[in-house]
Amino acid sequence: MHFEFLVEEPSAKVALQNVVPRILPTEHTFDIHAYQGKQDLIRKLPQRLRGFRSWMPQDCRILVLIDEDRRDCHELKAKLERIAVEAGLSTKSAPDSNNRYQVINRLAIEELEAWFFGDFEAINWAYSKVPITHHRKSKYRNPDQIAGGTWETLERLLRRFGYHPGGMPKIETARRISEHMAPLRNRSKSFQIFMQAIEQAYQSPT
């Protein structure tokens, strides 16, 4: 099976380049396409999906991943579903009459950085001055519910321990942490749902 991942920014692309091979067995293939933010992805998504529809074989899945960014997740998911259906593609949430689908829409809640907090061991490997015991603090126990923005929280955490005093570079940080991420230990619920969607797709390809 082949997967086409559509993500909203380059930092998500570099993270998935490291993480997806740990979810997807080697006999399957994938490409990742990054956009210049959520609005850029959503604006270009209808045309991109129509383009995929013109050539994609039965053993191909498109996975669209965007950050929730403190928006109504149900409304955002419904918008992605409408775009896919209007492009003539079936989705995991709305499969065809044979229970087959071509598009999987998933949200990182509230941002991709929540997935990093879901694997605090990876943060510690990438930034060794950050104590591994920090994941026990109440604010980090549920990565998808970290208040004040997960990107901002991660930047403050790294700065506190002497990293990136001039501002956190998103792409570099995503690469460093994702290099050490282990999907099965990730405590983020939205990451677990993302991983399960990939596994279900290649385990039941028709």
Task: Quote the pTM value.
Answer: 0.93
Query: Mean pLDDT across the chain, nearest whole number?
Result: 93
Separation CA 194–CA 105 (nearest Å): 9
Helix axes 73-86, 38-53, angle to 10 degrees: 30
Lowest mean per-residue pLDDT among 58-67, 119-128, 131-140, 178-187: 131-140
Reported as a pLDDT band with limits 50, 70 and 90, residue 206 is: low
The model's pLDDT over 80-95, given as tens digits with 9 standing for 90+, comes to 999 999 999 999 999 9
In the chain, beta strands by DSSP E? 2-7, 29-34, 60-67, 103-108
**Same domain membership, residue 85 and residue 18:** yes
**Same domain membership, residue 141 and residue 98:** no
Which residues touch 8 (CB under 8 Å, ≥6 apart)? Answer: 34, 35, 37, 38, 40, 41, 65, 66, 67
Separation CA 168–CA 153 (nearest Å): 11
**Same domain membership, residue 197 and residue 167:** no
Number of domains in the chain: 2
* CATH number of the domain to which 34 belongs: 3.40.50
Structure tokens at 2: 């082949």
**Same domain membership, residue 164 and residue 82:** no
Query: What is the mean predicted confidence (pLDDT) over 10-24?
Result: 97
Confidence check: pLDDT of 110 > 90: no
Nearest to 161 by CA among 133, 186, 131, 204: 131
Domain encompassing residue 132: 113-185
23 in Cβ contact with 106 (< 8 Å):
no
